[in-house]
Amino acid sequence: MGWEEIAADKRQRIEKSIPAEWRVDVKSIVGPDEVSFMDVPVKSGLLTPEELAITGSSAVELVTKLAKGELKSVDVTLAFCKRAALAHQAVNCVLEFFPELALAQAKELDEYYQQHKTTVGPLHGLPISLKDQLRVKGLETSMGYVAWLGKYDKEDSVLTALLRKAGAVFYVKTSVPQSLMVCETINNVIGRTLNPRNKNWSCGGSSGGEGAIVGFRGAVIGVGTDIGGSIRVPSAFNFLYGIRPSHGRMPYAKMANSMEGQETVHSVVGPLAHSADDLKLFVTSVLQQEPWMYDSKVIPMPWRQAEEDIITSKLQSGAGGLTLGFFNCDGNVLPHPPILRGIDMVVLALKDNGHTVVPWQPYKHGYAVDLIQKIYSSDGGQDIFSVLKESGEPAIPNIKDLVNPSYPKLDMNEIWEVQRQKWIYQMEYLEQWRQREADLGREIDAFIAPITPTAAVRHNQFKYYGYASAINLLDWTSVVVPVTFADKAVDKKNTDFKPLTEIDGVVQAEYDPDAYHGAPVAVQIVGKKLSEERTLAIAKEIGRLLGNELTP
């Protein structure tokens, strides 16, 4: 079979995995002039009011009710399966869909609960969506590569296994861009995944299928990965929270990956969700399973409540609780007006509530972006292009933005030099941080920054990864907080714009107030390495101040 046939076969199999009774005519619900799919769940009539309520709940609410026996996993799972089926029909986000397996797993958990009157773990009965890098025994993990179709996994990834142990139910694996190294989601297997809020916008990438399905509430928590923004960009573009934990906190072992074995900058795995509390539920639940017992790269570091409490204490101490830095331009690319306004909103909300917010000078972000670019391309694209060659499928259009085969392959001594420079850069930035604290006479808890220069971007327009990737080079913990939506009435085009760089000109020229109207705007809250407890607590407070943190 040629690659087109293999891909077509896979599409058919995905199609067939959706039961006939869950098929809807999306075009009859969303007219040709309409752009949003967000009303499909209600308008389709497929979900009962109870199922709409379930899929509209937070994960914390769901596990609480499941643990009390007020909800059954079968009902919760069925609701999310139906909504995920709608999500795929609307925005084309699914690479694996297996409601039967999910319902069987849910039934077992219900039976366990019935029998033992207790849960198997903190996620008992909760359906969780997986990016198609996580292996589930018996299923395919294609990662959007045609060549990898038809291979069935013999074991779970470590994270899959631990989530399973914690009680999670699996029902869907979602789409990614071919190679993962792109912040939009398109591949030759199922094509492009759309943003549920507007078919003209990207859902982000590489965890774009997760962004879309969680944004659509076809999942309450999705699992993504991030080596250059791949959790944070889909979170931002779908008005979600997302955490890029530091390397070594969450288990990545036995997942599929591009450039497997590359360790100069580690890809990390983490959740996307509708609230900081749901992110915390995920992280604490995984840590309770002691992932360091299974994945040698994970640090034996349980959830440190004392670290979270430091932030809580600062908040309870009253005025001037938190001290945060902020910047709206990294010196390479000025964000579009909606993002600049988003940063302002966050700063204002914090100041209005008595927190201390000070300007933060980005330290050599341009240098960091160049350095990490060298790392992405350090094998001259050999790993990725050899997988394409296997099936004969063509590369997706924007693959060369990050993994450019025209970049020279580095040799061993050159990569050592890059690694040395990375280490020095990380330490210089730590020194900056200390110096700023010394100047200010107080601890700086985190800084606020754009995560992309654009609100949810129009297709094929994602150009600049630097706001995300500089943080990957630093390996700092970053939590995305949704802020607001682009508004053509206030976010006017910047008419006297003078580009800082060539790419700055390209990005700014692309801004169009009408096209971006309504697009989600987010910021990232960046804390130091392995500061998940503190940074999540700060993100939760910012979300609360903005009215975007839904759980108490």
**Binding-site residues for substrate:** 180, 206, 227-230
| Residue 304 beta carbon to a copy of itself: minimum distance, rounded to whole angstroms | 9
> Of 143, 221, 410, 456, which one interacts with a copy of itself (CB under 8 A)?
410
R_g over Cα of the chain: 22
CA distance 125 to 100: 15
Distance of CA 2 to the CA centre of its chain: 33
Q: Check: CB of residue 217 under 8 Å from CB of residue 55.
A: yes
Asked whether position 378 contacts a copy of itself by CB under 8 A, the answer is: yes
Of 413-452, binders to a copy of itself (CB under 8 A) are 413, 415-421, 423, 426-427, 429-431, 434
Contacting range for a copy of itself; rule: CB under 8 A; set: 24-32, 161-169, 246-254, 339-347: 246-254
> Of 65, 165, 364, 529, which one interacts with a copy of itself (CB under 8 A)?
529
| Residue 261 beta carbon to a copy of itself: minimum distance, rounded to whole angstroms | 3
Catalytically annotated residue among 44, 230, 275, 531: 230
Whichever of 72 and 365 has its CB closer to a copy of itself, that residue is 365
Tell me how far CA of residue 187 lies from CA of 4, 11, 122, in angstroms.
12, 12, 35
Catalytically annotated residue among 10, 72, 131, 463: 131
Tell me how far CA of residue 48 lies from CA of 78, 91, 103, 454, in angstroms.
11, 21, 17, 37
What sign for the dihedral angle of Cα 393, 395, 397, 398? positive
Asked whether position 528 contacts a copy of itself by CB under 8 A, the answer is: yes
- 131 is an active site residue: yes
Asked whether position 365 contacts a copy of itself by CB under 8 A, the answer is: no
| Residue 438 beta carbon to a copy of itself: minimum distance, rounded to whole angstroms | 12
Outline where DSSP puts E strands in 58-159: 94-97, 127-131
- 206 is an active site residue: yes
CA distance 217 to 212: 8
Residue 543, phi then psi, degrees to nearest 5:
-60, -40
Of 458-517, binders to a copy of itself (CB under 8 A) are 474-475
In b/e form, how buried is each residue of 368-400, taking b as 16+ CB within 10 angstroms? bbebbbbbbbbbbbebbbebbeebebebbebbb
Distance of CA 128 to the CA centre of its chain: 14
- 378 is an active site residue: no
> Of 296, 316, 406, 495, which one interacts with a copy of itself (CB under 8 A)?
296
Asked whether position 152 contacts a copy of itself by CB under 8 A, the answer is: no
| Residue 265 beta carbon to a copy of itself: minimum distance, rounded to whole angstroms | 11
Q: What residues have CB less than 8 Å from 373, skipping those under 6 apart?
A: 402, 407, 469
Whichever of 253 and 506 has its CB closer to a copy of itself, that residue is 253
Interface ranges with a copy of itself (CB under 8 A): 248, 253-254, 259-264, 292-297, 299-301, 378-380, 382-383, 409-413, 415-421, 423, 426-427, 429-431, 434, 474-475, 528-531
The residues assigned a catalytic role are 131, 206, 230
